[in-house]
Amino acid sequence: MPYWNHEIETMDPKDLRQMQSEKLVKLVEYVYSNSPFYKKRFDEFGVKPQDIQSIDDIGKLPFTFKRDLRDTYPTGMFCVPNTKIIRFHASSGTTGKPTVVGYTQNDLDNWSESLARGMTSIGLCQDDRIQISYGYGLFTGGLGIHYGSEKIGAATLPVSSGNTERQISLMKDLDVTAVCCTPSYFSYLIEEAERTGCSIKNQTKLRIGIFGAEPWSESLRKRIEERSGIKAYDVFGTSELSGPLFTECAEQKGMHIWADMFLFEILDPETNEPVKDGETGEMVVTTLSKEALPLIRYRVGDLASVETEICNCGRTHPRLMRLKGRADDMVIVRGINVFPGQVEYVLVKFPQVSPHFMIVIDREGELDRMIVQVELVDMASDKLDDFYKLKSKIEHEFKSVLGLYAEVEFVGHGTIPRSEGKAKRVTDKRQY
Ligand code: DLL
């Protein structure tokens, strides 16, 4: 398969490390002098930019967290003046406030460069027609992949998510060769196509799918590939790091992390010490090229492992293996990140229900379904009409805070198991 940026993608790992060190030294000076947030964080931690001479000193730097972005909402961690920002995206926070990410022109260029490399590595090029069925808007999936697709010169269809019938007909009528969406949405698409008498395998030119934004498995990959006749590739990213960033190459053995732009650490969540190569730990990422919102040792919250052995495709950059879960209690429902804290935030507004709840996630066909079991308190009304009104009010509030329909199911007082330690708030019945 061809390369998008041969020199960088196949760089000697020693030279890559050297490049990372040089970039890290500059980055640390940059954030210290451009962001009061980082200056304060470094000062409190007792570290000065000159203490960092290479990537071997990374452990001397303090961590950053999603809560830092929330605490400094909306732009308190930014390192450039407002006039340099040319795009904003935002993801949902845990209390209804979004986490805002800003981009300079360079940030957007690097983001699409990252995707252009990945898309080229799976054989996409200007001859392809790429249907982007991730949501467009504040979510990074749609626009992120869009610009990667245009960068490689492919014909890009910004379809966004939803309207499944139209997705299928466009795919067929415009000879689409690749699709980008969540793996669960694509599974649904296959099912819907079959239901309406269309076989994706035999009646479309689709040959590649780029699927991510939620956990999925090797068995789902197999099922998708068998049913649709395409090659399915994993893609990873988070809004704070830019959005979708790293895809697998044609080998399908992990997603290449572009080490000239990102420094990954995989740490034992208990000790914060690096785990051995290939072992699972918590992903901690330092952005080496971002200008507007650089992140230092950002605790993404995902559990993952990284392989550094050089890939058969010839690319020397490390590979992020299929994600292993979350270090926190976030769950992803229909591609949307849900924290139990958000559910609690909604429920405490309603005195008629207790703060004990259970989120049950299941699949209806190929689509996720979220139910929140809620206990009514004793003084709640016994009129049926009031129940329905309350149910729909809470569901409405969920929709506005979570951005997702979640069904409320009332259960009797004392039904939800009480916990003496960390409460178990989620029952995930989905099979991946
Ligand atoms: O989901 C960005 C994205 C868009 C990635 C399109 C891929 C494709 P957030 O909404 O901030 O950003 O959610 C990021 O989603 O920390 C993971 O927990 C999860 N996630 C993303 N990709 C994968 C994947 C986008 N391939 C959070 N496998 C991350 C498993 C994934 N989990």
Q: What is the pLDDT of residue 230?
A: 98
Contacts of 225 (CB under 8 A, 6+ apart): 231, 232
Q: Ligand 1 mean position to 237 CA, how many Å?
A: 5
When pLDDT is averaged across residues 345-361 and rounded to a whole number, the result is 90
Q: pLDDT category, 94, cuts 50, 70, 90?
A: low
The tens digit of pLDDT for each residue in 299-326 reads: 999 999 999 999 999 999 999 999 998 8
Cβ of 93 closer than 6 Å to ligand 1, yes or no, is no
Q: What is the pLDDT of residue 84?
A: 98
Q: Ligand 1 mean position to 420 CA, how many Å?
A: 32
Nearest CA to ligand 1 atom 16: 238
* pLDDT(214) > 80: yes
Comparing 189-198, 246-255, 290-299, which segment has the lowest mean pLDDT?
Answer: 189-198
When pLDDT is averaged across residues 167-192 and rounded to a whole number, the result is 95
> Look-up: residue for tokens 């293996």?
321
The strands making up 426-428's β-sheet, listed across from edge to edge, are 407-411, 367-376, 353-364, 426-428
Q: What is the pLDDT of residue 379?
A: 62
Cβ of 311 closer than 6 Å to ligand 1, yes or no, is no
**Which of 238, 255, 298 has the most ligand 1 atoms within 8 A of CB, as the residue to mutate?**
238
Calculate the average pLDDT of the chain. 94
Cβ of 300 closer than 6 Å to ligand 1, yes or no, is yes
Cβ of 323 closer than 6 Å to ligand 1, yes or no, is yes
Cβ of 282 closer than 6 Å to ligand 1, yes or no, is no
Q: Ligand 1 mean position to 212 CA, how many Å?
A: 6
The tens digit of pLDDT for each residue in 335-351 reads: 899 989 889 889 989 98
Q: What is the pLDDT of residue 356?
A: 86
Q: Whole-prediction pTM value?
A: 0.92
* pLDDT(426) > 90: yes
| CA distances from residue 198 to 94, 174, 192, 226 in whole angstroms, order as listed | 41, 15, 8, 16
Q: Ligand 1 mean position to 193 CA, how many Å?
A: 26
Q: pLDDT category, 97, cuts 50, 70, 90?
A: confident
Q: What is the pLDDT of residue 87?
A: 98
Q: Ligand 1 mean position to 326 CA, how many Å?
A: 11
Atom of ligand 1 lying closest to residue 255 CA: 26
When pLDDT is averaged across residues 266-292 and rounded to a whole number, the result is 96
Number of H helices and number of E strands within the chain? 12, 21
Look at residues 326, 328, 342 and name the one whose alpha carbon lies nearest to residue 97.
342
